[in-house]
Amino acid sequence: MYIFVCCLLSNLALLAAVQLACAIVRAVRPELHLRGTRVFIGIIAIAFVFDAALTFLVFADAGGPWRVRNPVETFFARAAAYLLAIVLAFVLARVWRRRGARRKAPPGALVIETSPYSKSTLPM
């Protein structure tokens, strides 16, 4: 459980750092459409592949002090932490997008129905 919590906290710190870096890049160069969630998922995917390679190719047959820690058993806790961090990144991105959409349209604004087929609306 300790490994899961530590890995999750480090992944969430990485998520915050990536989101901050992407916000700074978007502020400096507004023509770039850089999404922090996608960058974070790419970084986590690369980290997961390296983690799996090290666990199963290097440390699986290592002797000495690595046998006490058993990296193969702790890999699944780290993998669950990677997966939970990705799910949290998606949820937070959705919440931030919805909050941003609400800020653009003032409350009580006039809403025009643009298509009865798709039920799309246009706030005015």
Comparing CA positions, the residue from 30, 23, 44, 26 lying closest to residue 88 is 44
Whole-model pTM: value is: 0.71
pLDDT > 90 fraction of the chain, expressed in percent and rounded: 39
Residue 84 has pLDDT above 90, yes or no: yes
In the predicted structure, residue 120 carries a pLDDT above the cut 70: no
Q: What is the pLDDT of residue 41?
A: 94
Q: What is the DSSP string of 88-118?
A: HHHHHHHHHHHHHHHHHSPTT--EEEEETTT
Who wins on pLDDT, 62 or 17?
17
